[in-house]
A = this chain, B = another copy of it.
Amino acid sequence: MSWRDNLINIEPYTAGEQPKSDDIIKLNANENPYPPAPAVRECIERFKADGLRLYPSMDAAPLRKAVAKRLNSLNGTALTSGNIFIGNGSDDVLATAFRAFFNSDKAILFPDVTYSFYPVWCELLKIPYKTPAVDDDFRIDVRDYFGENGGVVIPNPNAPTSIGVGLDFVKELVEHNPDSIVIIDEAYIDFGGESAVALTEKYENLLVTQTFSKSRSMAGMRIGMAIGSPELIRYMGAVKDSYNSYPLDKVQIEAGVASIDDEEYFKSTNAKVIATRERVTKELRALGFDIPDSGTNFLFAEHNSLSAKEIFLHLREKGIYIRYWDKPRISNRLRITIGTDEQMDRLLEAVKELV
């Protein structure tokens, strides 16, 4: 026996490249090309650092309140802070939910082509899982999720496919799963999708997760959230309190509130990303790419003659970083984050050199 025998047996996760140079165009991590709301900057500048000597709110109370209020004004719901869980990025929120809700011997279900962290959490937390295949157009068939299961996770829109589903899909999914907890991961919902937030008032077993990293341009600030029935949220709180009671610091809480309170800025930057996305989709299709209609801030593209790897390497040489995986089913696909119009024009030029 050695102490090494007690080390955990897991495979480390491999993240996308994070190139350091300032010259490059970074379209590989689905980051937002626009800065956070001006109120976020102002609130950090004015932050009273002396207050850091004290612990923050354990449950990010001011931010939960601000989120509930905003969602009510958008959806006509009557959510309170008790419907909102806040974590240190939506990965923290999702991992907390997996642990709180997926304690069955039956396998949980999520698509075979989806966010690469779901199987990682299942391995870490020893949750059995099955991955129904998306079809050849990368679409999810809701009927694949009607059988016995220990829980269901569907990203809407899905990543890296960029394809969204409507609220009818979500309703049908939840109504066929009255005995499971269903998580809808809405990391990209603000780029044109239909949020299921209002449905959480009707279905006690439905949890919706969202993030500040994409549509709120705050990937560097690590804020994620979940919306659900008070019972689900209470169990997530119990897991948090048994692991790390204070996931959000004081600056995060204040900056999060500042972002939530500026709805106009939020709408206008999302509209800009969507407009760029629609234009670039058309131009890339004209250059021979197959691209599903995206409901996100990225495109899932395959060229009709050039290989994904070839395009990826050519763009990297030009200082343009996009995402490419050498994985089954998607090995000829590229994931291209929507940047500014100027950045996308440089991408289009570089692609034209090759085509």
Q: Which residues of A approach B to under 8 Å, CB–CB?
A: 1-13, 15, 18, 26, 29, 31-36, 40-41, 44-45, 47, 49-56, 58, 88-89, 91-92, 95, 99-104, 120-121, 123-124, 150-151, 178-181, 205, 213, 217-222, 231, 235, 237-239, 241-252, 255
A242 interface neighbour in B29, B120, B205, B251, Cβ under 8 Å: B120
Find out whether the CB atom of B220 lies under 8 angstroms from the CB atom of A52. yes
When chains A and B are docked, how far (Å) is the Cα of A31 from the Cα of B53? 6
When chains A and B are docked, how far (Å) is the Cα of A301 from the Cα of B6? 39
With A6-B104, A11-B242, A31-B54 known, 16 other A-B pairs at CB within 8 A are: A3-B178, A3-B181, A4-B231, A6-B102, A7-B103, A8-B103, A8-B239, A10-B239, A15-B58, A31-B55, A33-B53, A34-B53, A92-B247, A124-B239, A220-B250, A251-B251
Find out whether the CB atom of A248 lies under 8 angstroms from the CB atom of B220. no
Of the candidates A1, A219, A222, A255, the one having the most CB atoms from chain B within 10 angstroms of its own CB is A222
A103 interface neighbour in B6, B54, B251, Cβ under 8 Å: B6
Min distance, Cβ A151 to any Cβ of chain B, angstroms: 7
Find out whether the CB atom of B103 lies under 8 angstroms from the CB atom of A150. no
Chain B residues, Cβ within 8 Å of A180? 3, 6
Find out whether the CB atom of A242 lies under 8 angstroms from the CB atom of B88. no
**Given that A120-B242, A221-B249, A221-B250 are known contacts, is A58 also in contact with B12, CB under 8 Å in the complex?**
no
Find out whether the CB atom of B217 lies under 8 angstroms from the CB atom of A246. no
Chain B residues, Cβ within 8 Å of A36? 49-50, 52-53
Find out whether the CB atom of A251 lies under 8 angstroms from the CB atom of B221. yes
Find out whether the CB atom of B18 lies under 8 angstroms from the CB atom of A219. no
Chain B residues, Cβ within 8 Å of A54? 26, 29, 31, 219-220
Find out whether the CB atom of B6 lies under 8 angstroms from the CB atom of A150. yes
Chain B residues, Cβ within 8 Å of A251? 44, 221, 249, 251-252
Which residue on B lies nearest to A232, using beta carbons? B7
Chain B residues, Cβ within 8 Å of A123? 242
Chain B residues, Cβ within 8 Å of A99? 8
Find out whether the CB atom of A6 lies under 8 angstroms from the CB atom of B242. no
Chain B residues, Cβ within 8 Å of A121? 242-243
Chain B residues, Cβ within 8 Å of A7? 100-101, 103, 235
Min distance, Cβ A177 to any Cβ of chain B, angstroms: 8
